[in-house]
Structure 1
Amino acid sequence: MKLKFLILSILFFTGLSLQAQVRFEAKVSKNKLGVNERLRVDFEMNQDGDNFRPPSFDGFTVVGGPNQAVSNRWINGDRTYSKTYSYYLQPNSRGRKTIAQAEITVDDKVYKTTPVDVEVTAAVEKPTDGDDSELIASDNLHLVAEVSDASPYLNEGITVVYKLYVSPRISVSNFREVDSPKFSDFWSQNIEIRELRPENGEYQGEPYRYVVLKKAVLYPQKTGELELEPLTLSVSVDVPSDRRDIFGSRIYKTINKTVAAGTRTIDVKPLPDGKPAGFTGAVGKFSMDVSTTKEKLKASESLEAKVEIRGNGNLNLFELPALEVPSSLEMYSPERIENVTTTLNGKQGSIIDNYTIVPTRKGQYPIKPLNFSYFDPQSETYKSLSSQEIVIEVEEGPATGGNVVAGNNRQSVNLPSEQFRFIKTNTNLKPLDQQAFFRSWTFWGSLFLPFAAIPLFILFGKRRDAKAADVTGNRRKKADRLARKYLSEAKKNLGNQQSFYESLERAMHNYLKAKLHIQTAEMSKERISEILREKNVADETSTEFIEVLKSCEFARYTPASNTAQHEDYEKAVKVISKLDKDL
């Protein structure tokens, strides 16, 4: 009996001593990793200690830690305690490496971990990691730029959509735009996104949620390899950690992660040879309609002629064919009407030139057919459209010697006798009272007034010669009038940001077309700078002109105040005046 009691006592006290034994050990997330992976090392103890001293981590770079986690649980009256120090290591080279001993002091006694060997191999294709929050965020958060066509033709519309993919393993609480792409060498138009809506999708074959952040339609303005700058975001990401709350639920850690969509390269193909005569750079699919409001009218009445190009393509970026009428039809400059909407399918709608025509004589007047050519990127061919001839019949008015042929300026005019009915042939004349004109005040005034006016004529003549001699001033005034003529439409749209900057950019392009005889397809900023340099334009003037064009581009992405619009307008007036003087 005594022997049995003695054995039980020994076992009981042995169990108490084992339960009270300090456990301090090192654990690694993996024993074999690539040189491009990270290693997590946990130093775990079952009792609280002091003076923790980590090893030197030779052969590694500490990229995270130390992170401290404490767990204190009671299960069925039994207490379980755990304290962990965690580090994240990046290997410096390949080979076998050793995690040396760490030390801790518990009840004035020093405890050490057992060294751990790990093998570092060559870089792996898909690096993985333990529980590093930064890497978890990187592996589960992706910003992607999706391009509809990476090899378009010059002036062919493409779309770019920026999507933020988020794995179900993490959540995003907030984000902000750090850097926005400028789309150099492209004519661009942002598509407004009224509301961010999360949708379900896939990323590399795995289920993800994504949200569309930005959509834009781009029309390349030069050929070759063009780069799309990346969109960069700062995202607040909630990442699960290895800690849990008192209910056993995992605790999430919020980190700020910067993600970028990456640079995309667009290989722009030149338009093929064989361009039709009169081709002005239209790319897409279009139809043409030429019509008039009247075909029969009286002289001095007016009619309207409409030239409309409708379809899907680079609307606003090419010239409409000009209407030609006989000289007996007085035609005014056209009014431009644009009904264009921008979607992911590109620019759609119509461009209309509305002419007002007033006939002056009776007769029949043919309006020549118009021809319009465009390039269809789907069939990769040029296509031409032609309108029908329209004959305007003027029924009443001054007659001509016959039907008028377009371009014939000489016309015989037959006027009826009724035209002179207002002239009276039977007069009732009365004699005037005879007054002495000679030596009267009227006589002397008429005699000396020309001599008195001679000094005034001399003064005005000198002023006129001075103005004529001021070549620089005259050129400046002429250039200023020319600039304000081209910018009149932009001035009307001051206060409406989108319309103002579109008309301002169009005015700058129209000025170059009129002055340098270049087409819309050559309107890239690099090409403009090259042409101005060939024309011996001052570098300062060329730079100012390009800066105005950049302001028009930037205004599509950022709001601009009325003050900024007025400043850009004055800059445009100034730079066109200077440019006209240099040219």
Structure 2
Amino acid sequence: MKNHLIKTGYSILFLMALWLLFFNGKLMAQEPQFVASAKAVVVVGERFQLQYRFTAEGVNFKGPIIKDFNTLSGPSPSTSSSVQIINGQVSREVSYTFTYILEAFKEGKFVIPPATITYNNKQYSSNGLTISVNAGRQVPTSGQSPQQGGQQQQSTADIDVFLKAEISNVTPYIGEQIIISYKLYFNNQIAGHDGFQKLSSFPGFWVKDLLANQRDIPTKKEVYKNKQYNVAEVRRFALFPQRAGEIEIIPKETDLTVRVQTASRRRSSDSFFDSFFNDPFFNSRYSDVKKKIVSNGFTINVKPTPTKDKPDNFSGAVGTFTMKSQIDNTEVKANEPITIKLTVQGAGNIELFDLPNIVFPTDFEVFDPEMKSDIKVANTGVSGTRTFEYLIIPRNPGNFKIKPIEFSSFNPAQGAYNVQRSPEYSITVQRGDGSSSVITYGGTVRQEGIQIIGSDIRHIKLSPYNFSNIGVYFFRSYLYYLLLIIPFLLTIAILIIWRKEMKKRADVELMRNLKSNKIARKRLKQANIFMKAGNENEFYNEIARASWGYLSDKLNIPVSELSMDNVNSRLLAKGLKEETIQQFIETLKQTEFARFAPGTKDENMERLYSGALEIITKIEKELK
């Protein structure tokens, strides 16, 4: 009995010790801190860091909407941790930091609102920040000293130059073409500029440079606010919004070197000579002054295309387009090729929509279409022609019909859908004469790729013959019955395989999924050719088409309905790892920003090409 009481007492003490340790740990646990920090005072043109630090492993960080500063990069996450052991007590501190690089472009006092983050299903908000932006320091005159022959006076108030952005439409539809132009107004001599490359980044838009082939920048005279200026259109782009909602086009900046006139006041003992030498005609000099100018910005309200009367086969074509079709032959023999050509012509997002869906008879073998594009760029925007050429081969004789081919587009000027149809084609297929019984495909839709083989009859086998021994009969032997059953089984197997293959080919979604990797690699191969040729614009366009096109085929979603916002959820539904999804989204972002990233152009293109190839290969492996 005594031993039992002692054991019970020890158990109670042990449980109390565990409770005290747990309670002590709870008391020592501190509430996570979420703190924002940045410089309180900056000058115009200065770049500085904005940091958000959270002392726990938080998720779903949402940064503030920053309108009064240029966001050069961010948020860039980083993690730090430390472990301390004091008097046997182990404590671990983890902090997550999200960093922005901002640049001030106008004077004033501005408020940066709080950011939010989630930890243990609880949302935390940081503190807000107030930042004062003062005027920049005055640029000294080159080649002059303040005391050289007298007191020199110079002021940047004499610099009369500014950058003005103009846009054709601030309420477009998804995929509708809008034109943005950046004009430089100046009355001073421009001694140098940075190439105006900072004016070409537009997140949320598909961008086409309309002045890419223009070598010189023409100028003209224009009156603005009752004052005459020299005006040069330095950049002009066609923008195609890729998602609905508000999209901010932030003010763009550029660096100029402006040549201004300066004057020096000379003092002498004679007031007569003072007035003579201080005359502007005799006493004027020029110096080059660095000037940072900032354009105006826009808020674009992108409207989705209407759901009312929306055709089922609408593939994202927005603009004014016409479609025509051609067929080279309607009377052929079995196994002879037929070519059907579709031509879509017009102005709009002609490079971004999918080809029309054509339903062919099941007795026709259809090869992948060859696509050709003739894109024209002018001041009015992007237009051109896309041609889809199909090669089909009827395998059996008979009378067949190809239903009218439908092409649907949305006309933003009319606010309505336009459905165009080709004529119905009646094809008469006669029985072949035997000379074209076997056909192979050479890998191109041109008829030169079709080759006919086996054009001769096999020879009758002559002696010597193989005779069986007397008394041994092949008829009704095991081998006889086996060989009799094998053709029947083979026929059933071939029918089953053939039905599965026909069902697979009729499934357009499945075929797009199966061919997505092949099409993406074909586009990456073309991008590699552009990279080796140093064709930067075409390289980035091909990389973007490969990434978005692959995703469209894999998820069976038109490119026009894809965005950064729904990519994550769509890929998660496919069973991809979160790490792979984030890597793919990062590759899409790099596609938009790579041409403006630091480093040489060759390094940026090589890095982006390798990353796109790697992530597409990785997704293919995970989806198998």
Normalised to the residue count of structure 2, the TM-score between the two structures is 0.57
Aligned length: 405
Partner of 1:541: 580
> Which residues in structure 2 correspond to 1:18-29 (within 5 Å)?
none
Alpha-carbon deviation of 1:227? 1.2
Report the counterpart of residue 352 of structure 1 in structure 2: 387
Which residue does the alignment assign to 2:158?
136
Q: Deviations over 1:41-83 (max 9, x none)?
A: xxxxxxxxxxxxxxxxxxxx997699998999xxxxxxxxxx7
Question: In structure 2, do the counterparts of structure 1 residues 173 and 375 end up closer, same or farther at CA, with 3 Å as the change threshold?
Answer: same
Residue from 282, 286, 289 that aligns with 1:252: 286
Q: How does 1:114-513 map to 2 (within 5 A)?
A: 133-137=155-159, 140-167=160-187, 170-176=188-194, 177=196, 179-191=198-210, 192=212, 193-243=214-264, 248-274=282-308, 275-397=310-432, 483=517, 486-496=520-530, 497=535, 498-513=537-552
Q: Which runs of 5+ in 1 are unaligned?
A: 1-35, 37-60, 73-82, 87-131, 400-418, 436-478
Percent identity reads 28
Determine if contact 2:350/2:383 at 8 Å carries over to the other structure. Answer: yes
Structure 1 residue identity aligned to 2:333: K
Quickly say closer, same or farther: Cα 1:253–1:556, change in 2 above 3 A.
closer
Q: Tell me if structure 1 keeps the 8 A contact 2:524–2:613.
A: no
Preserved CA contact (<8 Å) 1:309 1:320:
no
Shift of residue 263 of structure 1? 2.5
TM-score under structure 1 normalisation?
0.61
Paired with 2:286 and 2:362, the residues of 1 have a C-alpha distance of 81
- Separation in 2 of the partners of 1:299 and 1:352? 27
Q: CA deviation at 1:489?
A: 2.9
Mapped to 2, the partners of 1:522 and 1:561 lie a distance apart of 31
Aligned partners of 1:421, 1:508: CA distance in 2, in Å?
Answer: 50
Between the aligned partners of 1:531 and 1:576, the Cα distance in structure 2 is 16
Deviation, 1:328, is 2.2
Secondary structure of the 1:579 match is helix
Cα distance in 2 between the residues matched to 1:364 and 1:393: 5
SS at match of 1:494: helix
The letter of the residue matching 2:296 is: G
CA distance in 2 between counterparts of 1:563 and 1:350 reads 33
Other-structure match for 2:616: 576
SS at match of 2:175: coil
Taking a change above 3 Å as real, the CA distance of residues 239 and 492 of structure 1, as seen in their structure-2 partners, is closer
Secondary structure in 2 matching 1:570: helix
| 1:277 counterpart SS class | coil
Shift of 1:229: 3.2
Report how far residue 379 of structure 1 moved. Answer: 0.9
Secondary structure at 1:179 match in 2: helix
Matched-pair contact (CA < 8 Å) for 1:326–1:365: yes
1:576 maps to a residue whose letter is I
Q: How many angstroms apart in 2 are the aligned matches of 1:321 and 1:62?
A: 57
* Residues 489 and 63 of structure 1, relative CA distance in 2, 3 Å threshold: closer
CA distance in 2, matches of 1:291, 1:320: 15
Contact 2:152–2:262 (CA<8 Å) still a contact in 1? no
Deviation at 1:279, TM superposition (A): 1.2
What are the Cα deviations for residues 84-118 of structure 1, in whole angstroms up to 9, with x where unaligned? 687xxxxxxxxxxxxxxxxxxxxxxxxxxxxxxxx
- Answer yes or no: is the 8 Å Cα contact 1:361–1:398 preserved in 2: no
Q: How far 1:557 moved relative to its partner?
A: 6.5
Contact 2:152–2:265 (8 Å) recurs in 1: no
User: How far apart in 1 are the matches of 2:602 and 2:593?
Assistant: 15
Between the aligned partners of 1:66 and 1:569, the Cα distance in structure 2 is 45
- Give the gaps of 5 or more residues in structure 2: 1-106, 108-134, 267-276, 435-454, 470-512
User: 1:264, 1:282 → 2: CA distance?
Assistant: 25
Contact 1:548-1:571 within 8 A present in 2 as well: yes
- Structure number with greater Rg is 1
The two structures, once aligned, show a CA RMSD in angstroms of 4.0
Cα 1:62/1:482, change in 2 over 3 Å: closer
Check 1:556–1:362 CA distance in 2 against 1; reply closer, same or farther (3 A cut). Answer: farther
8 Å Cα contact 2:255/2:292 also seen in 1:
yes
